[in-house]
Amino acid sequence: MNAKPQQVLEVKTPRPTFAFEQSLEATQDAVREALAYFIDQLSTLVLPQDDLETVELVLAETLNNIVEHAFADQTEPGFIRIRCVCQRGVLYLRITDFGKAMPGLMAPAGSTPAMPIGSDELPEGGFGWGLIRTLTDDVSYVRSGPMNALTLQIALNKG
């Protein structure tokens, strides 16, 4: 019996135009340093200033939420890992940590806190997830054993 040669389907995965990883302690000081390093790394992409500011704001809100909530009440700081890949005009951020899980095992919806009419003072918190959801194109969260994994997508060059 003659066997016909099988056709091999070659799938080409596009190579990322940019990728790097970064680890940091889950502290406010480390977040500030990491943001500066991250934006410096992104500068090699020659992005419009609006895109850089969007990415910085999303990452700052995300990292600060992790420090303030996932690692609240811990005596020793935990660690956060960021993986960044830019491909076909989309920035993918995967942020992992081993802190507390998000309530309900879901990323918050991001509603804006109620503000009393005529109030001269803004609430202390509650804006972070609203900003994150508004400035990203996709947000996904999964708890895998003891690990939180948050994935954010930001389309670049929209402006």
List strands edge to edge, sheet with 147-155.
18-25, 79-87, 90-97, 147-155, 138-144
Rg of the chain, C-alpha, whole Å: 19
Output 1 or 43, whichever has higher pLDDT: 43
pLDDT band at 3; cut points 50, 70, 90: low
What are the pLDDT digits (tens) for 87-97? Answer: 989 999 999 99
pLDDT-based confidence at residue 57 (cuts at 50, 70, 90): very high
Band of residue 11 on the pLDDT scale cut at 50, 70, 90: low
Using a 10 angstrom Cβ sphere, with 0-12 exposed, 13-18 middle and 19 or more buried, the burial of residue 79 is middle
pLDDT score at 17: 76
CATH 3.30.565.10 corresponds to the domain 18-110+126-155: yes
Q: Alpha-carbon distance 150 to 98, whole Å?
A: 12
User: pLDDT (tens digit, 9 = 90+) per residue, 74-115?
Assistant: 888 899 999 999 998 999 999 999 999 999 988 878 665 555
Each residue's pLDDT tens digit, 129-148:
989 999 999 999 999 999 99
Kindly list the domain boundaries of the chain, sorted by start residue.
18-110+126-155
**37-55: per-residue pLDDT in tens?**
999 999 888 889 999 999 9
Q: Which helix (H) or strand (E) covers residue 148, if one does? A: strand 147-155
Integer Cα distance of 100 and 67 in angstroms: 10
Res 35 pLDDT > 60? yes
Q: Are strands 138-144 and 79-87 parallel, antiparallel or unpaired?
A: unpaired
pTM comes to 0.80
